[in-house]
Homo-oligomer: A and B are copies of this chain.
Amino acid sequence: MRVRELAQWLGADFEGDGEIEITGVAPIESAGPNDVSFINSRKAAQQSEASAAGCLIVPMDFASQGRTIIRAASPRTAFARAIGRLHPPAQPEQGIHATAVVGAGAMIGQGVSIGPHASVGAGSSIGSGTIVGAGCRIGRNVSIGDGGLLHANVTIYDGVHIGRGAVLHSGCVIGADGFGFVMEGGRYEKFPQIGGVEIGDFVEIGANSCVDRAALGVTSIGEGAKLDNMVHVGHNCRIGRHVVIAAQTGFSGGVVVEDYAVIGGQVGIGDKARIESRAVLGSGCGILTSKIVRSGQVVWGTPARPLKQHLEQLANLARLPALRKELADLKRRLARLEAV
């Protein structure tokens, strides 16, 4: 693909030699004469001078320095698209592998690929063009929309609904029972978990993450939300649209997260907490049961508090030794006065 063609495909303008052949992508330090790379800020412009990249995707106001460049409002986004174009994901063979097992009444869309040893339960439907990896376990009465991608060894329990274009990574488990028991006569009896799970369009869920089914009602993940690896979503949580959740974070039961919230890794969120829209939860923070984090707030620490307060507290802690010295000094001076 030539620079000219790449620019056209990106809907962007180029400067320099449009005939350079681009065969790969690379970070700016290691890009060669047939690679496209990108810089995201004017500050990074210095790096660009030393780069051997055949073509750079750059911000609109970048001084070209005589290089071959493609200008983009968001160079990172344009570069991401260039990667997708130059390195399209390998496509598995269409069709149902001979070793796969498809239950009675399951509806398999056009162009679907179902890998070796996968199983699809009775009454389930798989949308057109969806890829079901090897060893995936899809229960009964599950629906998965068009254009989905289930990597190998994904498990979907009965009755789960998944929208279009969802990406589920290996080992993730959708629809396991929520954690609910009642104590009776010295033993825990199960509180049956008969609710559902609804995963919106274009959601991505990382490897070995778990989204539990609701006790009653549904657990839901909104359109476009992105979950990293080993995230735990408890029963009856409602995660909003375009929420981002980093790895190893856990949600207890009934948590509500509104649209566009950003949640760091290893965060713990107590029952029925509410995280309002565009709030940001710093990595490792702990949100107490029923706590509300207000729209747009940035919180850190355990128990989580607004970033400014969190930093003040860290500063106060750091000053404790000095404070103790001051106190000792005052004591000495006071004793001297008292002795007068």
Measured CA separation A220–B115 after assembly (Å): 28
Q: Is the CB of B319 within 8 A of A324?
A: yes
**Residue interface mask A246-285, B partner, CB < 8 A = 1:** 1110101000000000000110101000000000000110
- Nearest-CB distance from A74 to chain B (Å)? 6
**Residues in B whose Cβ lies below 8 Å from that of A70:** none
Which residue in B27, B76, B182 is a CB contact (below 8 Å) of A216? Answer: B27
A227: nearest chain-B partner, CB-CB: B179
**Residues in B whose Cβ lies below 8 Å from that of A224:** 187-188
**Residues in B whose Cβ lies below 8 Å from that of A101:** 97, 99, 116-117, 134
- Nearest-CB distance from A247 to chain B (Å)? 5
**Residues in B whose Cβ lies below 8 Å from that of A327:** 323, 326-327, 330
Q: Is the CB of A87 within 8 A of B338?
A: no
Known: A115-B119, A153-B153. A247 touches B248 (CB 8 A): no
**Residues in B whose Cβ lies below 8 Å from that of A313:** 317, 320
What is the total number of residues of chain A having a CB less than 8 Å from a CB of chain B? 102
A155 in the interface (beta carbon within 8 A) = yes
- Nearest-CB distance from A180 to chain B (Å)? 8
Q: Is the CB of A226 within 8 A of B179?
A: yes
**Residues in B whose Cβ lies below 8 Å from that of A87:** 192, 194
Q: Is the CB of A334 within 8 A of B331?
A: no
Which residue in B116, B181, B208 is a CB contact (below 8 Å) of A173? Answer: B208
A181: nearest chain-B partner, CB-CB: B226
**Residue interface mask A58-78, B partner, CB < 8 A = 1:** 000000000000000010110
Q: Is the CB of A242 within 8 A of B187?
A: yes
- Nearest-CB distance from A239 to chain B (Å)? 14
Q: Is the CB of B169 within 8 A of A171?
A: no
A147 in the interface (beta carbon within 8 A) = no
A110 in the interface (beta carbon within 8 A) = no
Q: Is the CB of A83 within 8 A of B330?
A: no
Please name the 6 residue pairs, one residue from A and one from B, whose CB atoms are nearest each other, closest first.
A137-B152, A155-B170, A176-B207, A173-B207, A316-B320, A101-B116
10 extra A-B contacts, CB within 8 A, seeds A313-B317, A323-B324, A330-B331? A119-B134, A119-B152, A151-B157, A179-B247, A190-B204, A210-B247, A228-B232, A316-B320, A316-B321, A337-B337
Chosen A-B contacts, 12 in total, with CB atoms closer than 8 Å, are A77-B189, A80-B189, A80-B190, A83-B192, A84-B192, A119-B134, A167-B177, A207-B212, A230-B232, A265-B268, A316-B317, A334-B334
Residues of A within 8 A of B (CB): 25-27, 30, 74, 76-77, 80-81, 83-84, 87, 89-90, 97, 99, 101, 115-117, 119, 133-135, 137, 139-140, 151-153, 155, 157-158, 167, 169-171, 173, 176-177, 179, 181-182, 184, 186-192, 194, 202, 204, 206-208, 210, 212, 216-217, 224, 226, 228-230, 232, 234, 242, 244, 246-248, 250, 252, 265-266, 268, 270, 283-284, 286, 302-303, 312-314, 316-317, 319-321, 323-324, 326-327, 330-331, 333-334, 337-338
